[in-house]
Structure 1
Amino acid sequence: MTPRTARILAVALVVAAIGVVAWMWTSREEPPLPNDLAQVAPGDRFDNAEAAVEYYRAVLRRDPDGVEPRVRLAHALMQLGEERGTQTETVPEARQLLEEAVEREPDHYYARTLQASLFNVLHRFEDARDLSRELLAEYPHHAFVHGTLIDALVELGEYDQAVEASDRLQALKPGLPAYSRASYLRELHGDTDGAIEAMRFAADAAPSGRPERAWALYQLANLYLGAAKPDTAAYIFQGILEERPGFAPALAGLGHVALVKGDATEAVRQLEEARALQPLEVIDELLVEAYTAVGDERKAEAAAGRVHEALLAAREMGEIVDMEEADFLIDQGRDLDRSLQMAREQQARRPGHLHANETYAWALLHTGDAQAAVPYIERAMRLDTGDAMVHYRAARIYEAAGQPDVAARHLRLALDGHLEVESPSTAAEARTLLASLDGTPIRAASATR
């Protein structure tokens, strides 16, 4: 598990990184895919994205009205932004290029598939879902678009349909994109062992040293860390760095392991080194915890400020981040009325989405309406994911709603679910609250193998 706001954002990041290696499948019973897809598929990776950007910029200068160079430049920009963590710089241009390409050639299949993927990056999930379905109506066996459809359905909270689409993708083209998405769906349904198994398959499906394998292994390590197996997670993080030195998320993962094991000083060192390589939001959220653990409130506040700045930058590039910002601001105790409004709108937009319901419930609690929060936090727990933070938040809501016995039960579930992995400081608060509710002293959890 990763910290709260970054975990919500990281799902999209990991899926985007993994989804960039989708395979295609064409049935003999349907027309062949368009010629441009036979040359460069939207699921392919450029060996050197920076060089590809320079090349297609040059081609576009020679052919300023061309559709093909626009699409390929957009593709290269999307990959470059994902690799460097600079999507706020590359996505706006890629978005404009794809819009121009589709305006010039409305039926351009390659451009539209990339648009579907980009809609997910921008959290325009309804657009991604609808466009993916249009594309699949034309080419039902195109695996890449099955992936964009699954991602959109998950983020809209349409989980049953997402599972059906995932089953189709696995039957159609087993491989890293199919297995990684199946892993996340299993995790959402509380099947940690199944999620680990599927993510192992995903990692094994990619060649050693490839970025998509590194991302799959990173997710696998986090699954083990969330299951309170930090030594196994550390072993995998180290293995990633051996295959792909300088992979910042893996180094940050080692920092996370150190934090879980109680070595906050080592956690700070590794997290700062990781952030110097790539300033990702997940690293800054971990740094908030690490700096707090070593008593450096000034640096903790600065790291939290960077998390908020990243959210604002994402909004500036066109990404819908209202749910993520509301969650962040509530935990900071800031702009609660605005956070409530954003959370309410996102829950109405995605009524089945677990985190949308959780965030709205959390906002209701912090604006003084714990009773109204109860049905939403219960909806957030309906899949029995085992999410420790959701159980902690449920406990806070039930306590404020005058149900201390229910609150105590959810605190135990949170602590049994290894809340300290997600937030050591929150785990300490949970132990204190549980002791006050039932008078039983609760010892601090220790990291297990």
Structure 2
Amino acid sequence: MFMRSLLSPSSLVSTTVIVAVVAMVAMANWRDAHRGRDGDTIAASIGTLGAPKTSREELAQRVKDMDARLAAHPDDAGAAILLADALLRQTRVLGNPGLAIRAERVLTRVLNGDPSNYEANRMLGALYLSQHRFREAVKAGERNRDARPYDPVNYGVIGDGHLELGEYDAAFDAYDRMMALRPSAAAYSRVAYARELQGNVAGALESMRLAADATGADDPEALAWAHAQVGDLYVQLDKRYEAKQAYSAASHAFPGHPFAVIGYARVIAAEGDLGGALTLLQRLADASPTPDLAARIGDLLERMGRHEAAERQFALAESGWRADAPEPKNLARFLAEHDRKIDDAIAIAEQAVSERHDIFTEDALAWAYFKAGRIEDARNAIALALRTGTRDRDIRAHAAAIGAAAARVASR
């Protein structure tokens, strides 16, 4: 299949195809812009040709403008969709789940008045993904695919939902169709992740660099995200200098982008600059606190011997993952890694695995079992976490520890 062939490093798409894709995207956006109802606001969606740029300030301005438009014209579906579009982008930048909830309310109002509104239904799928409502995202994507089978965005949503649920064959099939319909930055980034999952980190890097190259300068938020992903892949390849260059490129495109800051901080911490890394993460947390940032800051403080301060951050991370931004997989793994409430970690991970079977959730369950001394259960779970051939360092380290423990048990 096409996607399967893309998973080998040699089958990369030429730059001339990217140029052709830009023209295709421009035409698709032109067609979509002429489908609005009479009186609706019509403008290019965030991140597409002809749209305002996606800097922090310009995203905020788009939200302000569309709020004002809707205050004067509450039935303007076009303004509502553009508002939801900007809110979802801000969710990624600010780590504020409340923005996605607001976007859902905006889209719900549109669909209550016009249930067949395609643009609103399509964005609803992306919103479900951002809220980790993966089964709903798949269903929304399938409905939209049935309505417009030649829109590649729908296959991306379907594939992402299946991927997060651990249904990898279905995900790769959807990405196959997406890439066949329209090679683009979004398609290249999905090929990159598919390769990474299967242990082909070098091939993933090639694809993600294509994604960055295919992202326009008029979409600085997406460009920063792509460069940060390139940096993460360089880290996996032990190329710290190249990783820092990629994170710097991300910060140049979108100053303060959280993925760039977190990535750069991780590299300099690995190089021994714990104080510099801590300063970067604390500044980011002051502006946009998240449970993940609290956990990372706690880990740095622990390494610096500041145990009480670290414990305060760990408490923030745990409470955040339990209430403000629920993420069972991350919470279970955090608890297991920090030897906190292991019985809770097992219960949380077991519940998560009953709903999804991605390798990271299986790994969280395996590590919780390991910390509880349930070595055979840990062996079974980690085998599922390794099933794609991933080279993820944490998963591989957990597998090695579990394997060693199993060998000791067998030798008794």
| TM bracket (short chain) | 0.7 to 0.9
Backbone CA RMSD of aligned residues: 3.0
State the partner residue of 2:275: 265
C-alpha deviation, 1:41, in angstroms: 4.3
Name the CA shift for 1:188/1:194 in 2 (closer, same or farther; >3 Å).
Answer: same
> Could you tell me which amino acid in structure 2 is paired with residue 145 of structure 1?
N
Q: How does 1:113-192 map to 2 (within 5 A)?
A: 113-192=122-201
Output the CA distance in 2 between the equivalents of 1:102 and 1:279.
32
Name the CA shift for 1:157/1:24 in 2 (closer, same or farther; >3 Å).
Answer: farther
C-alpha deviation, 1:313, in angstroms: 4.8
C-alpha deviation, 1:265, in angstroms: 2.9
Output the CA distance in 2 between the equivalents of 1:143 and 1:134.
13
State the partner residue of 1:348: 354
For residues 92-141 of structure 1, give each alpha carbon's deviation from its aligned partner in whole angstroms, at most 9, with x where no partner exists.
Answer: 11112222322222111111111100111111111101110111111111
> Could you tell me which amino acid in structure 1 is paired with residue 317 of structure 2?
V
SS at match of 2:154: helix
SS at match of 2:127: helix
Name the CA shift for 1:67/1:274 in 2 (closer, same or farther; >3 Å).
Answer: closer
Name the CA shift for 1:186/1:25 in 2 (closer, same or farther; >3 Å).
Answer: farther
Output the CA distance in 2 between the equivalents of 1:406 and 1:182.
41
C-alpha deviation, 1:339, in angstroms: 2.6
State the partner residue of 1:396: 401
2:338 to 328, 332, 349: 332
State the partner residue of 1:212: 222
C-alpha deviation, 1:90, in angstroms: 1.2
Q: How does 1:103-114 map to 2 (within 5 A)?
A: 103-114=112-123
State the partner residue of 2:5: none
Output the CA distance in 1 between the equivalents of 2:82 and 2:274.
45
2:313 to 303, 315, 323: 303
C-alpha deviation, 1:186, in angstroms: 0.5
For residues 249-286 of structure 1, give each alpha carbon's deviation from its aligned partner in whole angstroms, at most 9, with x where no partner exists.
Answer: 32333321121122323332333344445445554443
Compare 40-49 and 183-192 and name the one that shifted more: 40-49
Note if 1:362 corresponds to 2:380: no
Output the CA distance in 1 between the equivalents of 2:405 and 2:118.
53
Output the CA distance in 2 between the equivalents of 1:32 and 1:224.
37
Output the CA distance in 1 between the equivalents of 2:256 and 2:62.
22
Compare 152-161 and 247-256 and name the one that shifted more: 247-256
Output the CA distance in 1 between the equivalents of 2:307 and 2:61.
42
Q: How does 1:378-389 map to 2 (within 5 A)?
A: 378-389=383-394
Output the CA distance in 2 between the equivalents of 1:213 and 1:385.
26
State the partner residue of 1:412: none
State the partner residue of 2:15: none
Note if 1:373 corresponds to 2:382: no
C-alpha deviation, 1:181, in angstroms: 1.0
State the partner residue of 1:222: 232
C-alpha deviation, 1:190, in angstroms: 0.1
2:91 to 81, 88, 107: 81
C-alpha deviation, 1:172, in angstroms: 1.6
Output the CA distance in 2 between the equivalents of 1:51 and 1:263.
37
C-alpha deviation, 1:179, in angstroms: 0.8
> Could you tell me which amino acid in structure 1 is paired with residue 93 of structure 2?
E
> Could you tell me which amino acid in structure 1 is paired with residue 118 of structure 2?
Y
Output the CA distance in 2 between the equivalents of 1:252 and 1:364.
29
Contact 2:33 2:44 in 1 (8 A): no
Output the CA distance in 1 between the equivalents of 2:25 and 2:287.
30
> Could you tell me which amino acid in structure 1 is paired with residue 121 of structure 2?
R
For residues 199-218 of structure 1, give each alpha carbon's deviation from its aligned partner in whole angstroms, at most 9, with x where no partner exists.
Answer: 11011112347221111111
Output the CA distance in 2 between the equivalents of 1:180 and 1:25.
22
2:109 to 100, 103, 118: 100
Output the CA distance in 2 between the equivalents of 1:240 and 1:122.
25
Output the CA distance in 2 between the equivalents of 1:182 and 1:24.
22
Compare 157-166 and 263-272 and name the one that shifted more: 263-272
Contact 1:46 1:76 in 2 (8 A): no
Note if 1:245 corresponds to 2:250: no
Runs (5+) with no aligned partner, structure 1: 1-20, 408-449
> Could you tell me which amino acid in structure 1 is paired with residue 248 of structure 2?
Q
For residues 125-169 of structure 1, give each alpha carbon's deviation from its aligned partner in whole angstroms, at most 9, with x where no partner exists.
Answer: 111011101111111111222221121111011111212222222
SS at match of 1:35: coil
Taking only the aligned residue pairs, the percentage that are identical comes to 27
- TM-score normalised by L of structure 2: 0.82
Output the CA distance in 1 between the equivalents of 2:184 and 2:251.
23
Contact 2:152 2:177 in 1 (8 A): no
Runs (5+) with no aligned partner, structure 2: 1-21
Output the CA distance in 2 between the equivalents of 1:333 and 1:203.
39
Output the CA distance in 2 between the equivalents of 1:71 and 1:247.
24
Contact 2:47 2:222 in 1 (8 A): no
Equivalenced residue count is 377
> Could you tell me which amino acid in structure 2 is paired with residue 71 of structure 1?
I
Contact 1:322 1:342 in 2 (8 A): yes
Contact 1:179 1:199 in 2 (8 A): yes
> Could you tell me which amino acid in structure 2 is paired with residue 295 of structure 1?
G
Compare 225-234 and 361-370 and name the one that shifted more: 361-370
Contact 1:395 1:406 in 2 (8 A): no
Name the CA shift for 1:151/1:279 in 2 (closer, same or farther; >3 Å).
Answer: same
> Could you tell me which amino acid in structure 2 is paired with residue 72 of structure 1?
L
